[in-house]
Structure 1
Amino acid sequence: MLQAKKCLHIFCRKVLSRNYHVAIVGGASEIGQTIALLLRNQRTVSNLVIHDNAVHTPGIVLDLSHIPTNSAIKGYVGSDSLDSALQHSDIVITTGAIQSPGLSEKARLHLNAEFIKSFATRVSKVSPIPFIGIATEPINVMVPMATEVIRNNGEYDPKKIFGITSADLFTAQTMYASINNINPQDCKVPVIGGHSNETVIPLLSQAKPACNLDQKSIEEFTAKFRSQEDLVTNAKKGWSPTLSIAYGVSIFVQGILNALDGRPNQIHAYVENNDFGTSYFAGTVLVDEKGAGEMERYSNLSDFECHLLERAIEQLRKDVSKGTKMLELA
C-alpha cells in the first residue's frame, strides 16, 4: 500500500508539472553559455531561447542542440530579433559584459547599462510580463535601473523582477563548512544586504549549525567572504567568476519554476524592498506563482553585523541613486 501511494504521488507530480519557456538574453557570452548548458538539462524547461548580438550565437545554439534532451532550443541574433526572443517566456535571464583583461570597470558599467536599458524597454512590452532574473553587473545598480525603465515604459510588476544573488549564499555556505569541517549541504549561513564587497553581509550569528567563532575569526571570515570575487578574478588572470554564478542562476531558475508549478519556496535575490532602510535589498525571499513575497528577517544580530548593515544601507542608497542618474543622463 505504501509503495502504491508513493507511485501515485510520483505520477500526480508528473501530470501536474508544467513545462516552461526560458530565455537567456546575452546567452552567447561566457556566462550565458554556461547558464544555457545547465538549463539545457533541466527537465521542466521545454523551450530554451538564446538571444545575443554576437555573430557566433548560431554556433552556440547548434552546439547545445547536440545535447540529447526532450526540449526545444532556438537562437536569435541582433537587436531586431529581441522582441521575438522574449515572446511566450515564463522566465528571462540577463547576463552582460563581465570583468575581463582590457575592459575597464567604467567601460563595463557603460556597456551593461546600455544593455539593460534596451532589454528593459523591450521586455516591458511583453504581456503578461515574465519573471525577470538579472545577473548583469553591478546588480545593485542594474536592477533599480531595469525596474525604473519597465515602470515607465509598459507592464510593471515589482514582484517579478529579481537580481540573482544565489552565488553569495553558496559562497558563505561552502566557506563556513570548510572552516568548521562539516558537509556544506548540512549548514546554512544567511546573507543579506546587497551584491558587492561593501554591501554583502554574511550573518554568522544566524548560522546553522552554530559554531563558536571569536570576534577576530568572524571579522576575518567576513573580509575573506567579501573578497572572494576578487580572489577568483585574480586567479583567473583578470576574468570574472562565471561558473559559480552560472550555477547560482540555474538554482534561481529552478526555484522560480517550482513556484510557478505551485510549490512556493525560498530563493536568494536582490529585490525592491522598503523594509530595511533602502528601496532595494538582498536576502532570502519567499516566492510563489505571483512572484516575490516576504523577505526573511533575523533578530539578535551582533553589534558587528549591525555596523555592517548600517554601512551597507548607506552604499545601497548610493547604488540605487546611481542607476537613476544614469537613466537621466541617457
Structure 2
Amino acid sequence: MFRLSGVLCPNRIIGSMASSVIRSKTTAARLLGFDPQTIRKIDVVGGTTPETMVPVVTGIQPCGEYLLDDVADIVAKIRTMEEKVTAIKNGKPPTLTSGYFASKFVNSLVAGYCGVLDCPVSAFVPSSVLPGVPYMSTPVEFSAAGVKRNHGMPLLSQAEIDLFEESIPILMEDIKRGEAYAKEAMEEEKDQLLTCFGAWTPSSALSDYALIPVLFHVIPRLKMASNMFYPYKNMLDRNRDLGRKHLHQFCSRIFSSCARWQEATWWLDLYLP
C-alpha cells in the first residue's frame, strides 16, 4: 500500500513476530525446566503463519543445544498452539494473549526508538536476505528510523533447515496473495472515494478540486485523506478565496513529509495559484 501511494519507507514496514517468539520461548523453557523469563534469546525465521514460521530452538540461550533431537516435535507443538487455544475457547480468538503479544512488540519498538534495546528481535520485514523472497522474519535491531540493522539468518540445525526449506514456497504464496489483496483494496477504495467526490464537484470549479487525486496518490490511508479534506471542501463552497488559501496550506503540510514533494508542489502551483 505504501509503495502504491508513493510514500514507501522499507525500514518502517515491520510485522510483529511476538506471538511466535513468546510461544517458542515458553515451550522451550518448559522442556528445559527453566522459567521462560530466563531465556535470553530465541529467533524465529520464515513467515508469520503457523505453516511458515520456524523457531530456531537450537539457538536458544541458554542450553538450546540440548533440544537438537526434539526440533521437529517442538516446532509442531508451537505451530498448533493458537489452534488449541481457539478450540478451548469454543472458536473465539485468543484476545487476551493477542493483547500481550502486541504490548511486547510495541515495547520492543519503543526501546529501539529510545536507543535502549541491546538485543535483536525477530520481526517480519522487507528483506533481501534470501534472493527472491521480498519479506521474511529475521532478527533485527530497531532505532528511531525503524529497522536499524537486519542480522540475517541465524545458524540453523539440519532439522531447522529442512523445515525452513519447506516453508519458503508457502511463504511466497502468502506474500503474493497479500500484495494482490492490498492492491485490489486500494484500487476499490480509491474508485469509491473518487466517485463520491465526483458527485458533488461542480464542473466549473474543477481546478479547485483537481488536487484530490494527488492527495489519494501520496497518502496511504485514503479514508483519512477524505475525512481531512471535507472541511476544506465546505470552506471552498462558502468562500472560494479563503477556502483556496487554507487548502493550499493544508496540502503543503501534508506534502512536506512525502517523498513526492516536487510533483505535489507542481500540482499546487498549477491548480491553486
TM-score bracket, shorter-length normalisation:
0.5 to 0.7
Distance 1:201 1:264 in 2: 24
Show the counterpart of 1:168: 20
Secondary structure of the corresponding residue to residue 213 of structure 1: helix
TM (norm. structure 2) is 0.61
Kindly, what percent of the aligned residue pairs are identical? 27
1:275 aligned residue (111, 129, 147): 129
Q: Read off the aligned partner of 2:112 and give its amino acid letter.
A: A
Distance 1:284 1:246, change over 3 A: farther
Distance 1:180 1:263 in 2: 29
Show the counterpart of 1:35: none
Show the counterpart of 2:93: 240
Q: CA deviation at 1:162?
A: 1.2
The alignment status of 1:192 with 2:48, answered yes or no, reads no
Distance 1:172 1:299, change over 3 A: closer
Distance 2:125 2:58 in 1: 23
Distance 2:77 2:178 in 1: 28
Distance 1:212 1:267 in 2: 23
More strand by share: 1
The alignment status of 1:223 with 2:76, answered yes or no, reads yes
Contact 2:129 2:153 in 1 (8 A): no
Show the counterpart of 2:4: 152
Show the counterpart of 1:323: 178
Contact 2:46 2:164 in 1 (8 A): yes
Distance 1:321 1:281 in 2: 13
Larger Rg: 2
Q: Read off the aligned partner of 2:18 and give its amino acid letter.
A: S
Structure 2 gap ranges (5+): 186-273
Contact 2:17 2:44 in 1 (8 A): no
Q: CA deviation at 1:327?
A: 4.1
Contact 1:162 1:270 in 2 (8 A): yes
TM (norm. structure 1) is 0.51
Contact 2:82 2:94 in 1 (8 A): yes
Distance 1:318 1:177 in 2: 33
Secondary structure of the corresponding residue to residue 124 of structure 2: strand
Any residues of structure 2 matched to 1:244-323 within 5 Å, and which? Answer: 244-265=97-118, 266-277=120-131, 278-298=133-153, 300-323=155-178
Structure 1 gap ranges (5+): 1-148
Distance 1:298 1:317 in 2: 17
Q: CA deviation at 1:269?
A: 1.6
More helix by share: 2
Contact 1:199 1:316 in 2 (8 A): yes
Larger relative contact order (CA 8 Å, sep ≥ 6): 2
Secondary structure of the corresponding residue to residue 14 of structure 2: strand
Distance 1:214 1:154, change over 3 A: closer
Q: CA deviation at 1:257?
A: 1.9
Contact 1:193 1:312 in 2 (8 A): yes
Any residues of structure 2 matched to 1:34-183 within 5 Å, and which? Answer: 149-183=1-35
Distance 1:241 1:305, change over 3 A: same
Shifted more, 182-191 versus 261-270: the winner is: 261-270
Distance 1:207 1:281 in 2: 20
Q: Read off the aligned partner of 2:43 and give its amino acid letter.
A: P
Distance 2:101 2:141 in 1: 17
Deviations along 1:301-322, one digit per CA (max 9) or x if unpaired, are 2211111111222111111111
RMSD (Å) for aligned C-alpha atoms: 1.9
Distance 1:296 1:268 in 2: 10
Q: How many residues align?
A: 181
